[in-house]
Structure 1
Amino acid sequence: MEMKIHGEIKGIKYKLFLHKPLTRFPLENLDRALSEKASFILRVNEDNEFALSWWVSPKRTRSYPYARVYDTLGFSGKKVTIIPVIKDEGKDGDRDFLQWDTISLMSLLGVYVIVGYYIQADRNPRYRNKITNQRFDTKYIKKEIQRLLSYQSDALHWNLEQIDKISHIADMAFNAYNKISKKLGVEMHSMKSAERRIKELHKGKEEFMKLSRKLAHKAQERESVTVQPKECLAGIKGMITIKNYLGGYYYFTCDEVEIHGEDIYLIEGKHTTTGNLPSEGDIKDGLIKMILFTNLENVRVDEQKYNPVPVLKLTTNSRFNENLLSKSKRKLFNLLKEEAKYNGFKIKINDSFIV
């Protein structure tokens, strides 16, 4: 079963408690920063700093990109994230393409996206046709960062401009992968299947948005009937369509939905099979949804209005015991409870609400 929910977000108000202190790097050390840290402060010049994160892959389910972005959201200046337009691991690996819904979520969070591409890689020693340790074209990224310095509009408008350039960036990405393929003697994925995507990208922003929205909607429908292996959930899945103040529509899934009188519980689940608490990356991934859900207004199922109650549900294979948490996990857990109380969402561990 699934429930179709509609809501609106007019602005984001949220205070973070779990974000890590970020290391500062000067712009000339961008390569080093990208090799050492998932999120950091980039000192562009004496007067300007950006909080910067980067995605290993454009796919949202790999390498906890939301956790990387989360760590930058407490910064008072511009938040920037670098996302590859495509990541091709070679014929024996995966290939992922950037989707509009990723860009739109970042816009909703006020994060400026630099769409980048990989130009260097190493051969994976375990697979004949697979590459690893991919590195961005940092010369291109530095140019975009310099451009962002004097950019006065909001993240949404910058991100829409990035989409206008997406076909050019995709061409640079595929040229780079051709060079990597020849240099390392690794066969990449077929260009023919990718050409269809590139043709869509060349049609410009509107076609890209339409294509990715359609694909994301299909993914949302698939996810709404599939329980992921690392989830341990029992309720009805929800499909949430969020409209923002600019009239854009954002599609998300909600792991569980429960209606209690006039309240609708919007539950995001994170599970661990090994620890007493899910990993920090998993928890931060869930908190990105809490940022959205705590800012929802005018929530409806059909035409019935409800009060949204965001819930972060953490499940474990064994009984949860706060006293058994390590020192670092206990600190994380206490900060998580503070974040929940301050921002107005609930935390449920297994079958018990703790906030």
Structure 2
Amino acid sequence: MHIHATIEGIQYQPFFGRKLNEYDISHLQEALQTDASFLLRFPDSSQVAVSVWVSPKRTRSYPFARVYDTYGFQGKKITLIPVYKDEGFDGERDYLQWDTVSLMSLLGVYVILGFYSHAEKNPHYPNKITRQQMDINFLLEQFHAVMNYRSDALHWNLVQTERLAEIGRLACESYRVISERTGVKMHSFEAVEKRLAVFSAGREKFISFSRRMAQEAQEREFRTVQPKENLKGKKAKITILNYLGGEYHFTCDEVEIHENSLLLMEGKHSRDASLPSLSDIKDGLLKMILYTNLKDVSLNGMKYIPQPVLKLTTGELLHETPQIVETLNILLREARANGFWVMLNENLIGSDER
């Protein structure tokens, strides 16, 4: 099953964003070490909301939940993403993909691409590093630049992608230094150079390469049941186009057809708790931001009316603690305001306040 859709713009009212701690720009290092999302204050008293990715891969450490937490802020929203991250030969290595930047452009989020310049040897693995920190001086320059930027997130992000090779080389050199200083073997720098060559070849080649990688990842996910899913229906590929020229490749966890309606379900599962974690729920809500704004939805050439559904499943009976009741009440208010449904263990909920 392959769904195609378009997005003309984003309208969404979040209810779940947490209260963000505020830091002065001079305390950026402290902010990065303390919070995944925060407010940053500048000398002229202006503020921005900042979210931080610990890896360019969107399936690590809930980056969508971090971006979601800034989404209710009325001013500029900025997200920090490393161009690539190497955990050492015994760990993972991830690269930035075009659709990540394009998705942030669609959401109106300014992207600052960074690189790691400090790390420590992981005490549990001979060839793995930990406690990686982005280069603060580089980030400070970028923050001041984006604050003086008068165009929208799309144009800023396009300019950022033109610097991919430059920032990638800074990252590569930093990892060489980290490797020498810690004695940790990193992944092949030759492979990194090949990826930098893709970055250097221009935006179109980077887009083409990234989309091929995204489609391959989509195909792998399409064939895989994730441990945080408890699904009974059919998965479907979904490709979203928008007027900015962005193309987004996702996998819809579960799809059901009811006459002319197409239920698009994002599943979050908890095996050991009465409700999936708040980070899991927020990760699912970022998909609701997309799905509630879909237009021209078609499946196998047939047009359908999309109905987004956030499907929560649990491995045990629901224990209605005050915290769970409050979480569900907030979630249902957000669902009503934005036009998606909430399903809990195969039952639609939300006709009345709990």
| Same fold at TM > 0.5 | yes
CA contact (8 A) 1:167 1:204 kept: no
- Secondary structure of the equivalent of 2:75? coil
Mapping 1:232-311, distance limit 5 Å = 232-311=230-309
C-alpha distance in structure 2 between counterparts of 1:317 and 1:236, whole Å: 21
C-alpha distance in structure 1 between counterparts of 2:15 and 2:211, whole Å: 32
C-alpha distance in structure 1 between counterparts of 2:85 and 2:335, whole Å: 35
C-alpha distance in structure 1 between counterparts of 2:320 and 2:159, whole Å: 46
* Matched AA of 2:171: A
Q: Does 2:349 match 1:351?
A: no
TM-score in terms of structure 1 length: 0.97
- Secondary structure of the equivalent of 2:249? strand
1:111 Cα deviation from its structure 2 partner:
0.5
1:243 Cα deviation from its structure 2 partner:
1.2
1:327 Cα deviation from its structure 2 partner:
2.9
C-alpha distance in structure 2 between counterparts of 1:111 and 1:305, whole Å: 31
What does the per-residue CA deviation read over 1:250-297, in whole Å, with 9 as the maximum and x for residues that have no partner?
111100110000100000000001100000000000000000000011
The aligned residue for residue 10 of structure 1 is 8
The aligned residue for residue 203 of structure 2 is 205
Mapping 1:131-280, distance limit 5 Å = 131-280=129-278
User: For structure 1, which runs of at least 5 residues remain unmatched after alignment?
Assistant: none
1:247 Cα deviation from its structure 2 partner:
3.2
User: For structure 2, which runs of at least 5 residues remain unmatched after alignment?
Assistant: none
What does the per-residue CA deviation read over 1:299-350, in whole Å, with 9 as the maximum and x for residues that have no partner?
111331111000000011123x3xx233333322211111011111001111
What does the per-residue CA deviation read over 1:51-82, in whole Å, with 9 as the maximum and x for residues that have no partner?
00100111111111110000000000000000
C-alpha distance in structure 2 between counterparts of 1:328 and 1:112, whole Å: 33
CA contact (8 A) 1:271 1:316 kept: yes
1:156 Cα deviation from its structure 2 partner:
1.1
Structure 1 range deviating more: 289-298 or 184-193 = 184-193
- Secondary structure of the equivalent of 2:276? coil
- Secondary structure of the equivalent of 2:193? helix
The aligned residue for residue 82 of structure 2 is 84
TM-score in terms of structure 2 length: 0.97
1:169 Cα deviation from its structure 2 partner:
0.2
1:351 Cα deviation from its structure 2 partner:
1.3
1:232 Cα deviation from its structure 2 partner:
0.8
C-alpha distance in structure 2 between counterparts of 1:10 and 1:195, whole Å: 37
* Matched AA of 1:329: I
Q: In the alignment, which of 329, 332, 351 is matched to residue 334 of structure 1?
A: 329
C-alpha distance in structure 1 between counterparts of 2:247 and 2:125, whole Å: 41
Q: Identity rate of aligned residues, in percent? A: 52
The aligned residue for residue 34 of structure 1 is 32
- Secondary structure of the equivalent of 1:21? coil
C-alpha distance in structure 2 between counterparts of 1:140 and 1:49, whole Å: 19
C-alpha distance in structure 1 between counterparts of 2:270 and 2:247, whole Å: 32
C-alpha distance in structure 1 between counterparts of 2:64 and 2:213, whole Å: 20
Q: In the alignment, which of 88, 96, 99 is matched to residue 98 of structure 1?
A: 96
Q: In the alignment, which of 102, 105, 108 is matched to residue 107 of structure 1?
A: 105
- Secondary structure of the equivalent of 1:71? helix
CA contact (8 A) 1:55 1:83 kept: yes
The aligned residue for residue 119 of structure 1 is 117
* Matched AA of 1:352: N
1:153 Cα deviation from its structure 2 partner:
1.3
C-alpha distance in structure 1 between counterparts of 2:37 and 2:320, whole Å: 26
